[in-house]
């Protein structure tokens, strides 16, 4: 198994747009305590690493607005009634 750092988890949380307070609540930590791990100030214990990765998987990913409208805007062959 590949070891994950707090910075890796932080990057994944940002990519998935999961706020730190939501992630912290999911794993039972105060947001400031979780921030010390995610910012690399403390080593990430293996148990916390697993809990964080599981929480991120459970929370899923919220699509960004440009991702959710990009495909829909291309449908219809471009015939929107404007010349």
Residue 62 has what pLDDT? 60
Burial 49-63 (b: 16+ CB within 10 A, else e): bebbeebbeebeeee
Rounded to an integer, the average pLDDT of 54-65 is 77
Q: How far is CA 71 from the centre of its chain?
A: 22
Distance (Å, rounded) from C-alpha 38 to C-alpha 35?
5
In contact, 4 and 57? CB cutoff 8 Å: no
pLDDT digits (tens, 9 = 90+) for 24-51: 999 999 999 999 999 989 998 999 999 9
Of 78 and 46, more confident: 46
pTM above 0.75, yes or no: no
**Would you give the DSSP letter of residue 16?**
T
CATH superfamily of 6-60: lambda repressor-like DNA-binding domains (1.10.260.40)
* Whether residue 83 has pLDDT greater than 60: no
- Tokens 């991702």 belong to residue: 67
Neighbours of 3 (CB within 10 A): 8
């Amino acid at each position: 198994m590949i070891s994950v750092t707090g910075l890796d988890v932080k990057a994944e949380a940002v990519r998935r747009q999961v706020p730190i307070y939501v992630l912290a609540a999911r794993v039972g930590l105060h947001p400031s305590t979780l921030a010390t791990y995610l910012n690399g100030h403390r080593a990430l214990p293996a148990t916390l690493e697993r809990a964080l990765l599981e929480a991120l998987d459970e929370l899923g990913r919220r699509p960004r607005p440009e991702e959710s409208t990009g495909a829909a805007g291309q449908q219809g062959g471009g015939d929107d009634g404007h010349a």
